[in-house]
Amino acid sequence: MIKISKLLLIATLLFAACSTEDDGDNGGGTNGGDNFDRGEMLANWADNIIVPSFVSFQVETQNLEDLARAFAENPGDTELNALSSQYTAAYQEFQTVEMFQIGKAEELNYRRFLNTYPTKTEEIESQIASGSYNLELPSNFAQQGFPALDYLLYGYGSTEETLEVFTANPEYINYIVAVAERINNLTSEVTASWQGDYRDTFVNNTSSSSTGSVDRFTNDYVMYFEKILRSGKIGYPAGAFTGSPSPENVEALYAGEISKDLYLQALDSFEDFFYGVKINGGENGASYFQYLKYLENETDEESITASIAGQFSAIRAQSSELDNNLKSQVQTDNSKMLAAFDELQKEVILLKVDMMQALSISVDYVDSDGD
Amino acid sequence: MQLSPDKYLKRTTEAAPLAVFRLFFGLMMFASIVRFWLNGWIEKLYIAPKFFFSYYGFEWVKPLGDFTYLLFILCGIAALMVAAGYKYRLAIILFFFSFTYIELMDKTTYLNHYYFISILSLLMIFLPANVYFSIDAWRNPARAFQKIPQWCIDAIKLLLGIVYFYAGLAKINSDWLFEAMPLKIWLPSKYDLPLLGDLMQQEWVHYAFSWSGMLYDLFIPFLLLWKRTRFVAFLMVIVFHVLTRVLFPIGMFPFIMIVSALIFFSPKIHHGILNFISGWFSISKQKFDNLRTYQFFGIKKKISVGILSVFFVIQLLFPWRYLLYPGELFWTEEGFRFSWRVMLMEKAGYAQFKVVNAETGNRFYVNNSDFLTPFQEKQMSFQPDFIIQYAHFLADHFEKDGHENIEIYVENYVALNGRKSTPYIDPEVNLLNFADSFKHKTFILPFEDEIKGL
């Protein structure tokens, strides 16, 4: 008996010494029976939502760059109007991919390069005046992307006034081309990575640990709703965190009229993702909704999915009271903006507390020990 | 067998089990410190945050900036000295204070395991763990003894027994036994475990784990004590703790418990272990086998026995303090810590603080990530003592920023063991009207469900 216990002791110590930490293994999750298949969910996300979204967004950014170049070649009002309307279309489409800040997008800081607002107008002006700038620098987050185009295309007034500014100094048009080109380049880099190796990396990492794709993506997804959608698009302009409304924080500040559309598009895309709506049609694939249904108690009357769905409706119902131009909304009746914030806030609680608890995904990346 | 205290205190036994315990305890503590450092947790938990959550009464214990590393070095060296039995009394005192200081720096990181280590090292200050198989005994034969009083070993058994038994008692509640909560939430997410992954999806497995976990905790101390079941019990200890290690991120603790359970075995086995180690390191173990018996005398005996008696009375009573508070313990968490309530809750919350100017009515929300790490924010969002402390911190901060007539409110939702999230703190209450204390926190809204049991 002594020998056996000695052996056990050594085995235990060895196990203690060799056991891997909580970084999980990347083994494929072969789920049989009636288990919810996270691998299938990841594949649906990647193949039917994320990749097609990036593909169609890239069509828009390519158009954007082409039209910017066309405008540079022939700076007339037809070309400027074509460019401006393409800016609107691309910005709208951007809302469908803004939440996917994972993989290449995370590595490149994609979202911050494309959509940091309010844009720094004075620095844009001085960079144009000097004619030298490097848009790849992180210090240039707020001098490029859609907010910079927004300022350049809509910040000087009418088409005539804008053309007047541009023809006075051709550096303006160069800057517009540079910004459009950068948007397109970054987008094609992210799209290519999804079409290449990253798709498999993402889908195969079915690990249940905090480094698994589902855990990481869900953290990003919920964080996007809280910080980018709720705070960024509504909370900061409404002054929810300062007490004083700041209309200058509205997305698409200068184009103005499209700001609510951008918000609604972001909301739609976020909600569609929750239900696993495929971009190119067909029956919904596996996503959070199906996963929660799988885990849910059938007898539960007030189910999490029902609450989340109900809150999406409440947010949409409230948004109908908002002006198309969120800047005007802040200036005329900010209480409606704060009401929108409150509705979004309720959804944050459902997503971050109830949904993540049901999925047993911890809210943070701190891989500290538990009890 | 008469249960006379005097007779019991005079009973002696081999010192080997205590020496083995000291050796492994020191080594595992050292490994824990190194692991903590290598994981980058010193930086992440004690240096990066701007604000730290203090235990009530220990607000003066704060991280020491870059000197925090020094504190960990000190703690690690002390652990090694304990293992070697080198200047043991100094080492274990140093270890107790440095380790406890570390744990008191921020209650965000509170774990029952850490508390266990703290009080165990406190207990060990009063035990002659260095009289056998130690550098102290090697260098000074006058301080080397082969035998020690029986109670010195029983004290550790008793502490381990309390930890297990109370953990078992805490599991006697309707959520754990009849809802299989929170295991029903935790286990299915381990779908990718080899062999076990599919099993973890089965509801009966959740119940089986819940019930067997409760029975294990309640009975394992007794099974370890009884000679005839001891070996099987030790196998159960290994299986149980390795399983928890595989299923949950609980770090070094399972191994510490497995090795600690060796103390229940007879001296014969410990001599075997020491012989084995002596063989590897060519230590002459015979030198320690001097047949001398260590005795506590006079005032030293009175103090040691006295302090340990008080220690154990506190240990036995402290976990019941929750009975002094109204409301559901899992909900209010008043009296939850330091009571061996492990793995009982899946609790998450969301707290949106609102700063209001009482005169003008002007208000704004707080961005928690401006002040807290994600881990701190998570822990804060469902524990009322964190919330009150944070509210006062926010008031101080915004006052310095020039805000006036500050009132702090919180919209706070908490979900417990798979229930839907419900409001937690009264949103109409200005938190600045309350200070942290041991009194019941009246601003906690009532729990809308009922959890029966202890």
Which tokens sit at A118? 């309010």
Task: Read off the pLDDT of each residue in A237-256 and give the average, rounded to a whole number.
Answer: 95
Residue in the block written with tokens 């070697």: B84
Q: What is the predicted pLDDT for the residue at B251?
A: 87
CA A259, distance to chain mean position in Å, is 16
> CA dihedral defined by B60, B66, B68, B71, rounded to 10 degrees?
-120
Quote the tokens at residue B277. Answer: 């180690």
The C-alpha atoms of residue A37 and residue A17 are separated, in whole angstroms, by 33
Which run of H or E residues covers position B422? strand B422-423
User: Is A246 strand, coil or helix?
Assistant: coil
Taking CB atoms and an 8 Å cutoff, what residues of chain B touch A307? Answer: 420
DSSP structural state of residue A45: I
CA nearest to B30, candidates B87, B85, B95: B95
pLDDT in tens, chain B (454 residues): 556 888 898 999 999 999 999 999 999 999 999 999 999 999 999 999 999 999 999 999 999 999 999 999 999 999 999 999 999 999 999 999 999 999 999 999 999 999 999 999 999 999 999 999 999 999 999 999 999 999 999 999 999 999 999 999 999 999 999 999 999 999 988 888 888 888 888 899 999 999 999 999 999 999 999 999 999 999 999 999 999 999 988 889 999 999 999 999 999 999 999 999 999 998 889 999 999 999 998 899 999 999 999 999 999 999 999 999 999 999 999 999 999 999 999 999 999 999 999 999 889 999 999 999 989 999 999 999 999 999 999 999 999 999 999 999 999 999 999 899 999 999 999 999 999 999 999 999 999 999 999 8
Per-residue pLDDT at A5 exceeds 80: no
Q: Average pLDDT of A117-144?
A: 95
Instruction: Name which of B113, B186, B191 is nearest A29 (Cβ-Cβ).
Output: B191
Select from B188, B249, B268 the Cβ nearest to the Cβ of A295.
B188
The closest of B42, B158, B149 to B106, measured between CA atoms, is B42
**Is B418 in contact with A358 (Cβ distance < 8 A)?**
yes
Q: Which residue type occupies A163?
A: L
What is the length of chain B?
A: 454
Facing B273 at nearest CB: one of A9, A12, A22: A9
Of the partner residues A33, A353, A360, the one whose CB lies closest to the CB of residue B189? A360
> Which residues are within 8 A (CB) of B40 and not within 5 positions of it... i.e. 6 or more apart?
none
Tell me: pLDDT of A8 over 90: no
Q: How far is CA B175 from CA A235, A300, B170, B184, B419, in A?
A: 38, 16, 11, 10, 11
Identify the sign of the CA torsion A253, A255, A256, A260: negative
Q: How far apart are CA A294 and CA A291, in angstroms?
A: 5
CB B432 within 8 A of CB B355: no
- The C-alpha atoms of residue B229 and residue B224 are separated, in whole angstroms, by 7
Statement: residue A25 has pLDDT above 50: no
- Please, which residues bridge with residue B149 across strands? B12
Residue A371 and residue B188: Cβ atoms within 8 Å?
A: no
CA-CA distance, A340 to B77, in Å (whole number)? 56
Q: Does the distance separating the beta carbons of A304 and B272 come in below 8 Å?
A: no
Does the pLDDT of residue A289 top 90, yes or no?
yes
Task: For residues B404 and B408, give the distance between their C-alpha atoms in angstroms, rounded to a whole number.
Answer: 12
Q: Residue A248: is its pLDDT beyond 70? A: yes
CA distances (Å), B120 to each of A336, B24, B124, B339, in order?
58, 13, 6, 14
Contact A15 B346 (CB under 8 A): no
Give the residues across from B147 on adjacent strands. Answer: B14, B293
Tell me the C-alpha distance between A119 and A271, whole Å. Answer: 28
* B249, B272, B367: residue with CB nearest A6: B272
| B189/A6 touch (CB, cutoff 8 Å), yes or no | no
Q: Is the dihedral of CA A270, A273, A278, A282 positive or negative?
A: negative
Cα separation, B116 vs B121, in Å, equals 8
Q: Is A24 helix (H, G, I), strand (E, B) or coil?
A: coil
Contact B108, B53 (CB under 8 A): yes
| pLDDT exceeds cutoff 50 at A28 | no
Q: Does A122 touch chain B (CB under 8 A)?
A: no
Beta-carbon-side half-sphere exposure of residue B355 (alpha carbons within 13 Å): 27
Whose tokens are 């703790």? That residue is: B241
Please state, in angstroms and rounded to a whole number, the distance separating the CA atoms of residues B253 and B114.
Answer: 9
A42 or A294, higher pLDDT: A42
Return d(Cα B63, Cα B300) in angstroms, integer.
35
Is the CB of A208 less than 8 angstroms away from the CB of B189?
yes
Q: Is A19 on the interface with B (CB under 8 A)?
A: yes
pLDDT of residue A15: 45
Name the helix (H) or strand (E) containing B206: helix B203-225
Cα nearest neighbour of B354 on chain A: A241
Residues of B in contact with A371 (CB under 8 A): 111-113, 250, 342-343
State whether A33 and B201 contact (CB < 8 Å).
yes
Question: What is the pLDDT, as a whole number, of residue A1?
Answer: 44
> What integer pLDDT is reported at residue B189 of this predicted model?
84
Residue numbers of B between 409 and 428 with CB closer than 8 Å to A: 411, 413-415, 418, 420-421
pLDDT of residue A4: 53
Q: What's the pLDDT score for residue B370?
A: 93
Burial of B323 (0-12, 13-18, 19+ CB in 10 A): exposed
A31·B191 Cβ contact <8 A: yes
Q: Which of A303-312, A362-371, B130-139, B421-430 has the lowest mean pLDDT?
A: A362-371
CB contact under 8 A, B364 and A240: yes
Q: What per-residue confidence (pLDDT) applies to A299? A: 55
Neighbours of A68 (CB within 10 A): 26
Q: Reduced to 3 states, what is the DSSP secondary structure of residue A294? A: helix
pLDDT tens readout for residues A138-152: 999 999 999 999 999
Backbone torsions φ then ψ of B410, nearest 5 degrees: -135, 135
- Residue in A with minimal Cα distance to B245: A19
pLDDT, residue A362, reads 79
- Chain B residues inside the 8 Å CB shell of A208: 189-193
Structural element, H or E, at residue A306? helix A304-319
Between chains, do A349 and B413 touch, taking CB under 8 Å as contact?
Answer: yes
Nearest chain A residue to B423 by CA distance is A349
DSSP line for B116-174? HHHHHHHHHHTS-TTSSSSHHHHH-GGG--SEEEHHHHHHHHHHHHHHHHHHHHHT-BH
- Cα B229 to Cα A252: distance, rounded to the nearest angstrom: 74
Sort out which chain B residues have CB atoms less than 8 A from A32's CB and list them: 198
Q: What is the pLDDT of residue A197?
A: 94
Residues of A in contact with B191 (CB under 8 A): 29, 31, 35-36, 38, 208
Those of residues 21-60 in A touching chain B at CB distance below 8 A are 21-22, 24-25, 27, 29, 31-36, 38
B313 touches chain A (CB under 8 A): no
Q: How many CA atoms lie within 13 A of B344 on its CB side?
A: 27
In angstroms, rounded to a whole number, what is the distance separating the alpha carbons of residues B205 and B186?
12
- The residue with tokens 């789920």 is A31
pTM of the model: 0.88
Chain A residues whose CB is inside 8 A of the B28 CB are 16
| Residues of B with Cβ-Cβ distance to A242 under 8 angstroms | 364
User: With 90 as the cut, is the pLDDT of residue A302 above it?
Assistant: no
Residues B177 and B214: beta-carbon distance below 8 Å: yes
For residue B182, cis peptide bond before it (omega within 30 degrees of 0): yes
Q: In the 8-state DSSP scheme, what is residue B322?
A: G
Distance from CA of A311 to the nearest CA of B (A): 14
**Surface of B (62-121) touching A: CB under 8 A:** 109, 111-113
Q: Are strands B347-357 and B12-14 parallel, antiparallel or unpaired?
A: unpaired
- With a cut of 80, say whether residue A34 has pLDDT above it: no
Q: What residues 165-204 of chain A have any CB closer than 8 A to a CB of chain B? A: none
pLDDT at A367: 56
Select the residue of A16, A243, A353 nearest B363 (Cβ to Cβ): A243
**Alpha carbon distance A45, A269 (integer Å):** 12
- Label residue B386 exposed, middle or buried (CB < 10 Å: 0-12, 13-18, 19+): buried
Nearest to A54 by CA among A183, A220, A233: A183
- Residue closest to A292 by CA, chosen among A204, A212, A359, A239: A359
Whole-number Å distance between alpha carbons of B70 and B37: 11
Nearest neighbour of B350 by CB, restricted to A27, A33, A352? A352
Rounded Cα distance between B427 and B446, Å, is 13
Please answer whether residues B104 and B55 qualify as being in contact, where contact means their C-beta atoms are separated by less than 8 angstroms.
yes
B416 sits in which H/E element: strand B406-416
Q: How far apart are CA A144 and CA A133, in angstroms?
A: 11
Distance from CA of B238 to the nearest CA of A (A): 8
- Per-residue tokens: B375: 């881990």
Question: Which residues in B lie closer than 8 A to residue A345 (C-beta atoms)?
Answer: 352, 411
A87 min Cα distance to partner chain B (Å)? 32
Q: Which two tokens stand for residue A251?
A: 């997305």
Type of residue at B40: G
Question: Is B39 in Cβ contact with A367 (below 8 Å)?
Answer: yes
Three-point CA angle A198, A353, A293, nearest 5°: 70
Mark yes or no for CB contact A369/B113 under 8 Å. Answer: yes
pLDDT tens, position by position, A147-176: 999 999 999 999 999 999 999 999 999 999
Q: How far apart, in whole angstroms, are the C-alpha atoms of residue A353 and residue A58?
A: 35
Tokens of B419: 């229930």
Helix (H) or strand (E) holding B415: strand B406-416
Residue A22 scores a pLDDT above 50: no
B51 to B19, B57, B393, B395: CA distances (angstroms): 41, 17, 9, 13
> Is the separation of the CB atoms in A251 and A262 below 8 Å?
yes
3 state SS of A263? helix
Lowest mean pLDDT among A10-14, A197-201, A342-346, B436-440: A10-14
Main-chain dihedrals φ then ψ at residue B353, nearest 5 degrees: -85, 145
Contact predicate B120/B263, CB 8 Å? no
My answer on whether omega of the bond before A118 falls inside 30° of 0, hence cis, is yes
* Contact indicator for A350, B231 with CB cutoff of 8 Å: no
Restricting to A residues 347-366, those with a Cβ less than 8 Å away from any Cβ of B are 348-350, 352-354, 356-366
When CB atoms are compared, the residue of A35, A366, A371 closest to B113 is A371
* Residue A254 contacts residue A154 (beta carbons within 8 Å): yes
